[in-house]
Structure 1
Amino acid sequence: MPGVLTGDNTGIEEVNITACYGGGLPCYNDLALTRQTTGVPAAGQGDSGGPVISSATDEGRYAFGVISGIRDYSKSCTGDADGRECSKYVLYAPISEFFNAGWGLNYYK
């Protein structure tokens, strides 16, 4: 699962997670929690809203969802660190929730 600024992540830990980010923000339901299996930070501050996609194959890549947040963060980041807090645990909204809510998608090349 590539993060926008950070790198690859693999391994779904839990599904149907609810996350409340505080500061008056709403809680979000039906998220998935992933863990980078080697322990390397997989996403960080600024990656939210970025794509969760599969690794490249001969058939291309597949969309899994949208990065929502991180858990158990630290100052240890990979990629574009720039003082951000990052984590090996990443919460994302599965793309199936998006389509099940009746939304669609247009792709223009």
Structure 2
Amino acid sequence: MTAWHVVLLASIACFGLKAFGYLIPTTMFERPTPARIVNLLTVALLAALISLQTFASGQQLVLDARVPAVATAAVLFALRVPFFVVIVVAAIVAAAIRALT
């Protein structure tokens, strides 16, 4: 099985899951418990994606300029700085660290 086969199978699986989602009645998500689970699941998946992209490179744990840049972005978000400013400052932090090393 080649990488293209894996990509095609994953695409078919994602499409199937999305199609299955349309079959679930909307009344199910109006109840408090499923609505809370759906909201928390979205946040958990986003946090997992950010942590993998920040701390991993292939199969290895990597601590490079991305870590302080994400930490800077987190602090700026906590201070309610506008999104564009957060992105620019985090990019500047990462570029400065990479320039110094």
- For this structure pair, what is the TM-score category when the shorter chain's length is used for normalisation? under 0.3
TM-score under structure 2 length normalisation:
0.22
Tell me which protein shows more helix as a share of its residues.
Answer: 2
| Higher Rg | 2
TM-score under structure 1 length normalisation:
0.21
Tell me which protein shows more strand as a share of its residues.
Answer: 1
